Amino acid sequence: MNREFPPTEKGRRYEMRAQGLRQFAGLKKDIDRLDPFELAAHANLLVVPFEQVSALSEGTREHLLGAGKDAWSGGAASIPLPDGRTLIILNPTHSKNRHAATLMEEVSHVFLGHKANELAVKDPSGKTTKTRDYNHAIEEEAYSTGAAALVPYSGLKKLIIDGRTAREIARHYGVSTALVEFRIKISRLWGLYEKHLFKG
Ligand SMILES: [Zn+2]
């Protein structure tokens, strides 16, 4: 299978970086599944189960798992651990498939050289437009690169042509159906997807 790249400039850029991550993970084919937990260890990230984070108060804990459970997917601690690793927490109320995308975003931040303290910059005057734009750009870059690493373009296109549904493709790569649909749309493959889905 020849490796192909998405038609958009942005898509190609994210795909190139994603390919770098996949290569680093030792994957040879775009059809291979990436294990984000293995890659996280190489990226000096320590994924800790939510229950083991003792710094949270009972109230905060209850909020994060209760009323606020849909408002966060996971995150990195802004201060590194004494051994240099960065602590990552994933929302335990989310599925394993959603964890894959969240964790890959954090891995991408590391590989793309985004600094955690840059993310935390706050303008006391309240004029945070510039910071917010910057944050938005790097969040998009990290999320999109991570998504492309999990569901690379050539593999996605091949499975679409094989007539597989987004759900089946999601199962193949160990990600959520929503992530596969996002990749299909952003890669401009939706037309091809519908054509193969509804034929015969
Ligand atoms: Zn992020």
Task: Note the pLDDT tens digit of each residue in 100-134.
Answer: 999 999 999 989 988 754 444 444 555 444 556 67
Spatial separation of the C-alpha atoms in residues 168 and 29, rounded to whole Å: 18
Residue 180: what residue type?
V
Spatial separation of the C-alpha atoms in residues 63 and 69, rounded to whole Å: 7
Considering the entire predicted model, what is its pTM? 0.86
178: tokens are: 């929503």
How many angstroms is it from 36 CA to the middle of ligand 1?
15
Q: What is the pLDDT of residues 181-196, one digit of tens each?
A: 999 999 999 999 999 9
Sign of CA pseudo-dihedral 101, 103, 109, 110? negative
How many angstroms is it from 198 CA to the middle of ligand 1?
36
Spatial separation of the C-alpha atoms in residues 12 and 187, rounded to whole Å: 9
Closest CA to 142 of 117, 181, 114, 176: 114
Structure-model confidence comparison of residues 59 and 151, the more confident one: 151
Q: Scanning the structure block, which residue is given the tokens 């108060």?
A: 57
How many angstroms is it from 142 CA to the middle of ligand 1?
6
Q: What is the pLDDT of residues 4-41, one digit of tens each?
A: 999 999 999 999 999 999 999 999 999 999 999 999 99
How many angstroms is it from 163 CA to the middle of ligand 1?
33
How many angstroms is it from 139 CA to the middle of ligand 1?
5
Rounded to the nearest integer, the mean pLDDT of the chain is 88
Rg (the chain; Cα; Å): 18
Q: Which element (helix H / strand E) includes 75?
A: strand 74-76
How many angstroms is it from 104 CA to the middle of ligand 1?
10
Angle at the Cα of 98 (from 89 to 190), degrees rounded to 5? 145
CA dihedral defined by 48, 141, 163, 31, rounded to 10 degrees? -60
Q: Is the pLDDT of residue 149 over 50?
A: yes
How many angstroms is it from 153 CA to the middle of ligand 1?
22
Q: What is the mean pLDDT of residues 68-72?
A: 86
